Amino acid sequence: GESVGLHLPTLSVQEGDNSIINCAYSNSASDYFIWYKQESGKGPQFIIDIRSNMDKRQGQRVTVLLNKTVKHLSLQIAATQPGDSAVYFCAEISRSTGNQFYFGTGTSLTVIP
């Protein structure tokens, strides 16, 4: 079955620095990837998505990169702020599994003021 994993369970960065959170996936047939942010006591919140036919997508202060060759996904956060402290998940979705979402265990990002 599919597996979505994260390289690092925790990440600490200085406020103002850029953050990079990584994610590996195993299903080469996945057509859609999403990054979520989960703050303490809340449910996951959509950040940005990318389709499998894209390599890069930018949002406000965030960029997602997709490398299908090595089945790797990354989330870059520019000028990290204390409010960015949270757990970040990647999710992959495959039409072959009926659009089921598969999530990694998450990376905990701590921003040091």
Partner 1 sequence: KAGVTQTPRYLIKTRGQQVTLSCSPISGHRSVSWYQQTPGQGLQFLFEYFSETQRNKGNFPGRFSGRQFSNSRSEMNVSTLELGDSALYLCASSLEASGAVGYEFFGPGTRLTVL
Order the strands of the 72-77 sheet from edge to edge. Answer: 4-5, 19-25, 72-77, 62-67, 56-58
7 sits near partner 1 (criterion: CB under 8 A): no
Considering only residues 64 through 93, tell me which ones interact with partner 1, judged by CB under 8 A: 89, 93
By CB under 8 A, name the one of 13, 31, 63, 76 that touches partner 1. 31
32 sits near partner 1 (criterion: CB under 8 A): yes
Tokens 């000028």: give the residue: 79
Distance between alpha carbon 28 and the CA centroid of its chain, in Å? Answer: 17
- Which residues are near partner 1 by CB under 8 A? 31-32, 34, 36, 41-46, 49, 89, 93, 95, 97-106
